[in-house]
Amino acid sequence: MIMIMPAIQRALLSVTDKTGIAEFARGLHELSVELVSTGGTYRAIQTAGVPVREVAELTGFPEMLDGRVKTIHPRVAGGILAMRSKPEHMQAIERHGIPRIDMVVVNLYQFEKVAARADAPLEELIENIDIGGPTMIRAAAKNWQDVAVVVSAEDYPALIEEMRAHGGSLSEATHWRLMKRAFATTAAYDRAISLKLEQVGVAPEPLPGVLDIRAPRTLALRYGENPHQSAALYATAADGIAGARQLQGKELSYNNLVDLDAAWQLIQEFDGPAAAIIKHTNPCGCAEQATVVESYLKALEADPISAFGGVLAFNRELDGETAREVAKLFVEAIAAPGYSNDALAALAGKKNLRLLEVKQPDAPGLVVKSITGGYLAQTADTGKLDRTNAQVKTKRVPTEEEWSALEFGWKVVKHVKSNAIVYARAGQSVSAGAGQMSRVDSVKVGAMKAVLPLEGTVLASDAFFPFPDGVEEAAKHGITAVIQPGGSVRDADVIAAADRLGLAMVFTGMRHFRH
């Protein structure tokens, strides 16, 4: 049974974002709700021809201190906080001539918008910290049974419709829903202020003193990694895989999202048109060529068997020619910055294929993982290979073709689970050995899985070779050059083996473990 609350008789409106406020005020007025408002909101409602009183009339006190003080007053707080079910509360506000306020419509100073500007001075940040708004929101939310608290313009049309259906009243369930949204809003607001101010000052730390994770649930998933696990997606922004727009296909799974993120992170390594194919978070194919379709075909030919049922990512708009090639393969999902109409038409027949339009975040955030009892956090691995700082350790220097292959392989191996090995040519991964307990086994697995010839490829390793055996094993399959971080106590032995085998070897001085 739906419980309907008493009719709303008086509403206080004070919003920074004026979107829809005049229309909402008109709807309230038509329902015989008395309107009280402040500053710019008062002017917007009055200009729209809707009767409205200034809050100063209610408080008997003018706005002051550049608008800092206008709603912080007992005649506002009392009218919001008085519990209608308690006679002593009602007697108290009647005794002091305090009118009841049955609805509070407030959104806050746009602190986050100001904070997003790198050049915003501290004084401007402080001035955009709302005081009266959160106070009214929290007061109304605390007294949720008696006061409807509205913090989003998205709610305006549905609230007017419900009030019209129930003689100016809202249901208890609606009051409860609005209350929860209100407290979530003030919590997020305070969090944004705290996080920004922690970054202000001399030499801010790369990691916060308190890890504050707050993200709304945006998608309920059928299950987690396995059917007996519950799962959901929580998004902190409208970019990246978590904020992607799904254009087509059945609902996303937990594993789809994990693989899509792995593919998307890999594809961002490349400046030219590139394609990546991911299976169980590891690249089974990746290529950077002159066109998107060439990149896809080069990625696919490296391991077409593993590509079956995988996920794809592109760093350019997916065009029709590439889409028609993709349509020949069973694929679970695709991530791309956009899709041409021709591409959408080519893939429309694959009703279950999930198409995600993804916006790349402006800057990488923290990488956070949960462990029993807590979280691990680190900065993103944004390390790039600088050829001028890399050190050639062998007698033979890489050729230009080998350098191009080494640089490409180094970008890919960064996204393979450690212990990680990638066989590569310029612009194309040939095979990968992922997640083995010993590095030499990763070399062997990569060679075993190779579909294309390994003769003339280069080898990329995410961490140093602890013994010469990995390089010696790779040389059996025809590699010509190696790129690795270096740093083993046996580096001299590994370099000597490379010289003996006629290989070129480059040390980057940077490790790319991925666990």
Last residue of a domain, one of 357, 375, 399: 357
The reported pTM is: 0.76
Q: What is the pLDDT of residue 59?
A: 64
Say if residue 371's pLDDT is above 70.
yes
Say yes or no: 105 and 253 in one domain.
no
* Total count of domains within the chain: 3
Say yes or no: 15 and 133 in one domain.
yes
Average pLDDT of the chain, as a whole number: 89
Say if residue 407's pLDDT is above 60.
yes
Share of the chain above pLDDT 90, in %: 61
Q: What is the pLDDT of residue 3?
A: 75
Say yes or no: 152 and 252 in one domain.
no
Confidence of residue 162 (pLDDT cuts 50, 70, 90): very high
User: Is residue 384 a contact partner of residue 414, using CB atoms and an 8 Å limit?
Assistant: no
Q: What is the pLDDT of residue 391?
A: 95
Which region among 99-103, 123-127, 320-324 has the lowest average model confidence (pLDDT)?
A: 123-127
Q: What is the pLDDT of residue 42?
A: 87
Q: What is the pLDDT of residue 195?
A: 75
Q: What is the pLDDT of residue 336?
A: 97
Is 377 a domain residue? no
**For the sheet containing 421-425, what is the strand order?**
245-248, 354-357, 331-336, 310-314, 274-279, 282-288, 428-433, 421-425, 458-461, 481-484, 504-507, 391-392
Confidence of residue 68 (pLDDT cuts 50, 70, 90): low
Question: Which residues are known to be catalytic?
Answer: 142, 280
Q: What is the pLDDT of residue 284?
A: 94
Say if residue 425's pLDDT is above 90.
yes
Say yes or no: 75 and 130 in one domain.
yes
CATH code of the domain containing 415: 3.40.140.20
Q: What is the pLDDT of residue 203?
A: 59
Confidence of residue 62 (pLDDT cuts 50, 70, 90): low
Say yes or no: 421 and 312 in one domain.
no
Per-residue pLDDT of 253-305, as tens digits, reads: 999 999 999 999 999 999 999 999 999 999 999 999 999 999 999 999 999 99
Say yes or no: 65 and 190 in one domain.
yes
Say if residue 233's pLDDT is above 60.
yes
Say if residue 65's pLDDT is above 70.
no
Q: What is the pLDDT of residue 356?
A: 97
Sequence-distant (6+) residues with CB within 8 A of 461 are 413, 420, 421, 439, 470, 482, 483, 484, 485
Residue 164 is encoded by which pair of tokens?
Answer: 């019209």
Say if residue 386's pLDDT is above 90.
no
Is 502 a domain residue? yes
Position 491: which residue type? Answer: D
Say yes or no: 341 and 417 in one domain.
no
Per-residue pLDDT of 188-202, as tens digits, reads: 888 877 777 777 765
Confidence of residue 181 (pLDDT cuts 50, 70, 90): very high
Rounded alpha-carbon distances, angstroms, from residue 281 to 49, 128, 276, 448: 59, 43, 11, 19
User: Is residue 58 a contact partner of residue 36, using CB atoms and an 8 Å limit?
Assistant: yes
Say yes or no: 186 and 37 in one domain.
yes
Strand partners, 432: 422
Say if residue 419's pLDDT is above 80.
yes
Per-residue pLDDT of 208-225, as tens digits, reads: 777 878 788 899 999 999
Q: What is the pLDDT of residue 18?
A: 87
- Quote the CA–CA distance of 175 and 149 in Å, as a whole number: 7
Per-residue pLDDT of 25-41, as tens digits, reads: 999 999 998 898 887 88
Is 207 a domain residue? no
Confidence of residue 71 (pLDDT cuts 50, 70, 90): low
Is 426 a domain residue? yes
Is 106 a domain residue? yes
Say yes or no: 332 and 395 in one domain.
no
Last residue of a domain, one of 314, 341, 357: 357
Is 489 a domain residue? yes
Last residue of a domain, one of 199, 219, 249: 199
Is 515 a domain residue? no
Confidence of residue 417 (pLDDT cuts 50, 70, 90): very high
Residue-number span of the structural domain to which 257 is assigned? 236-357
Q: What is the pLDDT of residue 61?
A: 60
- Quote the CA–CA distance of 15 and 92 in Å, as a whole number: 29
Is 186 a domain residue? yes
Say yes or no: 441 and 336 in one domain.
no
Say yes or no: 149 and 19 in one domain.
yes
Say yes or no: 335 and 473 in one domain.
no
